[in-house]
Amino acid sequence: MKDFLLAPSILSADFSRLGEEVNKVLSAGGDWIHFDVMDNHYVPNLSMGPMILKSLRNYNITVPIDVHLMTKPVDNLIPQFAQAGANFITFHPESTDHIDRTLNLIKEHGCKAGLAFNPSTSLHFLDYVIEKLDLILLMSVNPGFGNQSFLPLTINKLREVRKRIDLSLLDIYLEVDGGVKLENISEIACSGANVFVIGSGIFDYPDYHRIIKNIRQELKYSHFNSIH
Ligand code: DX5
Ligand code: ZN
């Protein structure tokens, strides 16, 4: 069975006890931790910086940390997040003047590189850099806040990116971010995503084990439906 990964977004966690929340969501079955960085400039909100990531590493969180930069510019933050312990660093093409240079910078610092697409961002940004990507993130809401509704236009966009990845024969994660819930994850998975960022769809539930178990069950059905 193809692998589906869950990346709980800690933007929806209780920040007053972040380490505990992260441990809880991982022992409930989360695969990666999705770490949203917002600067009140590229998006109208402020969230977390590299010191908080570092403190999670010091708290013995060892799983992949998937940093999603919603900042402008991005280059000066890349070495800081790499040193703090990021595994993936993803940025938006509109947030840098030189996409290729920023991708190189991420690699030079030993991290995997991702490119993130807002709902209205064209996929043409993939044309000349897909070989350098480890991950493509499709935003299914406008970035800046948790708990927004999934935009249906994302379904066709996911199919399109899935085609491009398969044609390229490259090993690239296709991650979807925003409004992913138990109720829609199966359709999203059938459209080609294999990494699911989920914030409120996990953290707003009292029992992380139970909600993650139900989500995995949905993913199992979606796999069954897509091969039959
Ligand atoms: C939004 C962030 C998301 C957010 C998703 O700008 O990039 O990662 O936390 O939250 P939910 O799953 O609640 O839509
Ligand atoms: Zn995100």
Place of tokens 């908080």: 52
In ligand 1, the atom with minimum distance to the C-alpha of 144 is 6
Q: If you average pLDDT over every residue of the chain, what do you get? A: 96
Whole-angstrom distance, CA of residue 9 vs CA of residue 148? 13
* Residue 13 CA to its chain's centroid (Å): 15
**Ligand whose nearest atom lies closest to the CA of 181:** 1
Sorted by sequence, the CB contacts under 8 Å of residue 213 that are 6+ apart come out as 29
Q: Is the CB of 177 under 6 A from ligand 1?
A: yes
Q: Could you tell me if the CB of 55 is within 6 A of ligand 1?
A: no
pLDDT band at residue 146 under the 50/70/90 scheme: very high
- What pLDDT was estimated at residue 226? 63
Burial degree of 121 (CB within 10 A; 0-12, 13-18, 19+): middle
| pLDDT for 73 beyond 70 | yes
Q: Residue 106 above 90 pLDDT?
A: yes
Sheet with strand 112-117: strands edge to edge: 5-8, 195-198, 173-177, 135-139, 112-117, 88-91, 65-70, 33-38
5-226 CATH:
3.20.20.70
- Verify whether ligand 1 is closer than 6 Å to residue 92 (CB atom): no
Which residues have a catalytic role annotated?
A: 36, 177
pLDDT, position 95: 98
**pLDDT tens, 27-62?**
999 999 999 999 999 999 999 999 999 999 999 999
Confidence band of 1 (pLDDT split at 50, 70, 90) = very low
Per-residue pLDDT, averaged over 73-77, amounts to: 98
The percent of residues above 70 in pLDDT, for the chain, comes to 96
Domain boundaries, the chain: 5-226
**Is the pLDDT assigned to residue 183 strictly greater than 50?**
yes
Which among 187, 192, 156, 191 is positioned nearest to 174, based on CA atoms? 192
Instruction: Output the CA torsion sign for 207, 208, 210, 215.
Output: positive
